[in-house]
Chains A and B, each alone.
Chain A
């Protein structure tokens, strides 16, 4: 490891512009003639549109266009799609209701877009939007996940009778029932994983520009995956063919999944730009973000875990209702299925698992992937029921887990996943030691003297990153491949540009990806630039989500670096009159091993471009591309331990310590990994303690601002005690597993396990706000 190579704590190259306010976000983009859009949105959760009168609005000052869904349809713009096909257990394909980008006859959630207004200023657009007169005939509403399937529940889509999108199964039901038949103990639980609003710091925004001269579109957008956006906008929504559509995702202020999907707004702004002849910009305000960004989680589950007389797990049964909201967002169907139920084996050797998932429509915002996407829901089910089982069996929660750990790899679970590597004892041991688990009872007694209820809770999670290989996900219903591309361009003076399909919106790729080239060629990190986020620059890519940038994106870079290195060595061997096999590249020099013959790196690059003296038949230039398709998922895992004190008088929970011992495989930049873990833990603890999404019975979102929706603040969090162990991932060249979501996946059950331990009431929902904890304490009295 050099000071800037793999494993070094290199400071983030991108931070200078971010912390000096010089980042360039979509809302910073301005083009001549640009106008501003506002959307008219449904104030009702469910209603028939009986009329749309735009005449008054059209005459308002500054108004350029007032456009409806009927006009959009007339121009051949398609409905929004869900890109992952799920088949129900009876073999029928999922039942997807039509999602018109602008509603034409029915609105299905508060915030559903109905009309776009374009005007000279944002204020004028909003004034005119208020003057649009939409008449509604209200329809009955269903909001709650558990009620969507009830007999007589209001129907959202005629395509999905009974609001049931799919009824999907995984695992062997019969084998699982058989396993339960022989059980010495069965733990049963109802578990709710509440709905979350992602709340990236930068609201969604888009700028659509139609160039009539070239019949070409440019779309600036807050996207985690601009190439996927272009693909979907072209292939499914008929905006324009790919060569006539450039998508640029410049600096993006956080995504957490919510900026993966293609939403109505960017599609409509592109279309409206052609329709009105002006560039159209839209920037969400925070309330629009609350209403109309895809939300996360929202599962209602019943789980049962069977043990033999030695406390070995025999089987697991899980039934989940997953609320997908009013429409199926782009990857919504994959989240409660292949990203959830495939992780239900956790770190344990479970011979038989059966899970059933029913996905339902409700009159709420669409639900899709949110940091962890399915895996937090799985770890919450499994780690809550493990802790509960330990209490019922009166054994140590740590030892019950240890007894059931998987110890030989590869390990085939009953739910598709094939774990390639791991050492769960190592993370558990590290966690227990760091948390002084042994000494807990003393601390509990001491706290009791102060009138505080002290509790400790564990979570031994596993997750899967870098969803792959493409052929496998294709066979499971994915509409896209999940590889990544990279191009390494060495310039004539030896500086390097790395083009990647991975998008960076907070992850620090401009630093970590550059560290790979620095490690390889010994060039200073300043001479390596990362290019991403523009379909005109990077040929193709699948973007950033599911903690895939390290495991998949960096692997593609490594493949391209291999090719560049091979060519550079050929050139150097020729120039130095040596054998290619003897050439080594180190500290910015290319030399013949064991001799003092060497060339500086830049001279090799220069030789490639002057082409005065290249090996015969070699093409000039030093630039290589690669596509990398992984052979398996990667499997980060770890042990999170949370210790809390609850004030019985008020129900306030204070986190006394939070330990996270994670195995992320090989680490490129420990500082950036720590940052990812801290952020993930803040989000996971936020879910456990603070963040609750409330719709009232009429489908109005009550928590539509930060005055009512509690985001985690520094004061809610302890100073984290985090550490890593390392079992390299065998399936990719760097041995990387991924770390972006682990914090949010592992932490919620640890927190809830700790609180329920403290208050001696296991019946506790998230977020465990003071009121909810106080109620639980009263109920246990």
Chain B
């Protein structure tokens, strides 16, 4: 790791100011991605501005069906929120299967979506739930926030404050983990609210998280796993690496999508 200056911000304003003053600063949340990258000398921020002590960024709030998750809320805190589990068990379940216990106790939702790893779990949930990302400067829908591999709409000084969404009628997330890293090799989040069905895929897309519109259309007519029997997932838009070919990923996307739908239809209302 190269030398760096550590700052602990007490407010979003202070964090933004510290960032403005830094030569080449980086916000630090759980550090689960940023710190290993620095240890490998692949990142060398002059300053680290720690967001984790900012009260306004912490915690899960549920108000009726409206959900707000503060940016520095850990995966562990999301996974164990009883209130949230009542509104949207799919997302608490998703958080409970990120990485391992160490990662879940440090990693945060803000860090995860700011990083927008194509294999991260949350982006699929936020896209399928049509969530809003609240930043220090604006609010924007998930579909505008996630741009590409490790790419988001965030400006350099912009801080994610929270994500908000309305609890769906029903939802499920099915993940096929990479055997080594346990990140998603194919993860499918299916959300249904009335007639509105959204299916988002992570881990597999060449350009990061994406909506599987063919599946949404098929499910609109018949919300059951068999509606996806003839779904053809195009391998040309999928990642291919030593862990999984595009063809295999295409298969996994379909299988995970069917299993997510099956979980929803099998679960008592």
Binding site for B on A (CB under 8 A): 123, 126-127, 130, 287, 649-651, 690, 692, 694, 702-703, 706-711, 769-771, 774-775
Contact = CB atoms under 8 A, between A and B. Distances in A.
Interface in B51-82: none
Nearest to B259: A649
20 contacts: A123-B2, A123-B3, A649-B255, A650-B176, A650-B252, A650-B255, A692-B242, A694-B242, A702-B242, A703-B180, A703-B242, A706-B181, A707-B181, A708-B242, A769-B243, A770-B176, A770-B179, A774-B248, A775-B245, A775-B248
B40 A287 contact: yes
B255 A771 contact: no
A690 B177 CA distance: 13
A771 B178 CA distance: 10
Contacts of A127: 2
Contacts, number: 45
B218 interface: no
Interface string B245-269: 1001001100100000000000000
Q: What 3 A-B pairs have minimum CB-CB distances, sorted nearest first?
A: A710-B180, A707-B181, A710-B179
Nearest to A706: B180
A708 B41 contact: no
A interface, by DSSP: helix, strand, loop or mixed? Answer: loop
Given A706-B181, A708-B181, A769-B243, 12 more contacts: A123-B2, A287-B40, A650-B176, A650-B251, A650-B252, A692-B242, A706-B180, A708-B243, A710-B179, A710-B180, A770-B176, A771-B245
Interface in B127-157: none
Nearest to B179: A710
Which of B180, B252, B255 has the most chain A CB within a 10 Å cutoff? B180
Contact of A771 (B1, B2, B41, B248): B248
A710 B177 CA distance: 12
Nearest to A707: B181
A581 B75 CA distance: 73
Contacts of A649: 251, 255
Contacts of B248: 651, 771, 774-775
A367 B172 CA distance: 46
B244 interface: yes
Nearest to B3: A123
Contacts of B243: 708, 769, 771
Nearest to A647: B255
B1 A769 contact: no
Interface in B29-44: 40-41
Nearest to A702: B242
Contacts of A650: 176, 251-252, 255
Contacts of B3: 123
Nearest to B256: A650
Contacts of B1: 123
Contacts of B41: 126, 130
Given A287-B40, A774-B251, A775-B248, A709 B242 contact: no
B252 A709 contact: no
Nearest to A692: B242
Tell me which of B176, B179, B251 has the highest count of chain A C-beta atoms within 10 A of its own C-beta: B179
A417 B132 CA distance: 71
Contact of A708 (B40, B180, B251): B180
Contacts of B242: 692, 694, 702-703, 708
Contacts of B251: 649-650, 774
A771 B251 CA distance: 10
Contacts of A769: 179, 243
B105 to A, nearest CB: 18
Contacts of A706: 180-181
A126 B44 CA distance: 14
A708 B178 CA distance: 9
Contacts of B176: 650, 770
A286 to B, nearest CB: 10
A775 B1 CA distance: 41
A708 B26 CA distance: 26
A774 B244 CA distance: 10
Nearest to B248: A771
Nearest to A696: B242
Nearest to A650: B255
A706 B40 CA distance: 14
A312 B181 CA distance: 47
B187 to A, nearest CB: 13
Contacts of A707: 180-181
Contacts of A690: 179-180
A770 B176 CA distance: 10
B248 to A, nearest CB: 5
A771 B252 CA distance: 10
A123 B248 CA distance: 42
Contacts of B252: 650
A702 B41 CA distance: 18
A769 B245 CA distance: 12
A711 B181 CA distance: 10
Nearest to A649: B255
A522 B222 CA distance: 78
Contacts of A775: 245, 248
Contacts of A692: 242
A698 to B, nearest CB: 14
Contacts of B255: 649-650
Interface string B1-22: 1110000000000000000000
Interface in B168-200: 176, 179-181
Contacts of A774: 248, 251
Contacts of B244: 771
A130 B2 CA distance: 11
Nearest to A775: B248
B114 to A, nearest CB: 19
Nearest to B245: A771
A323 B39 CA distance: 33
A635 B181 CA distance: 39
B201 to A, nearest CB: 15
Nearest to A710: B180
A707 B178 CA distance: 9
A769 B180 CA distance: 11
Contacts of A287: 40
A197 to B, nearest CB: 12
A57 to B, nearest CB: 15
Contacts of A702: 242
A630 B170 CA distance: 70
A108 B174 CA distance: 44
A770 B243 CA distance: 9
Interface string B151-167: 00000000000000000
Contacts of B2: 123, 127
A650 B177 CA distance: 11
A702 B1 CA distance: 22
A708 B245 CA distance: 15
A49 B179 CA distance: 38
Nearest to A770: B179
B32 to A, nearest CB: 12
B104 to A, nearest CB: 15
B40 to A, nearest CB: 7
Nearest to B119: A707
A295 B2 CA distance: 30
A453 to B, nearest CB: 15
Nearest to B1: A123
Of A130, A706, A770, most buried by chain B (CB within 10 Å of CB) is A770
A774 B41 CA distance: 37
A291 B180 CA distance: 18
A706 B181 CA distance: 7
B137 to A, nearest CB: 33
A769 B177 CA distance: 12
A710 B41 CA distance: 23
Nearest to B181: A707
B121 to A, nearest CB: 16
Contact of B180 (A126, A130, A709): A709
Contacts of A711: 180
B4 to A, nearest CB: 11
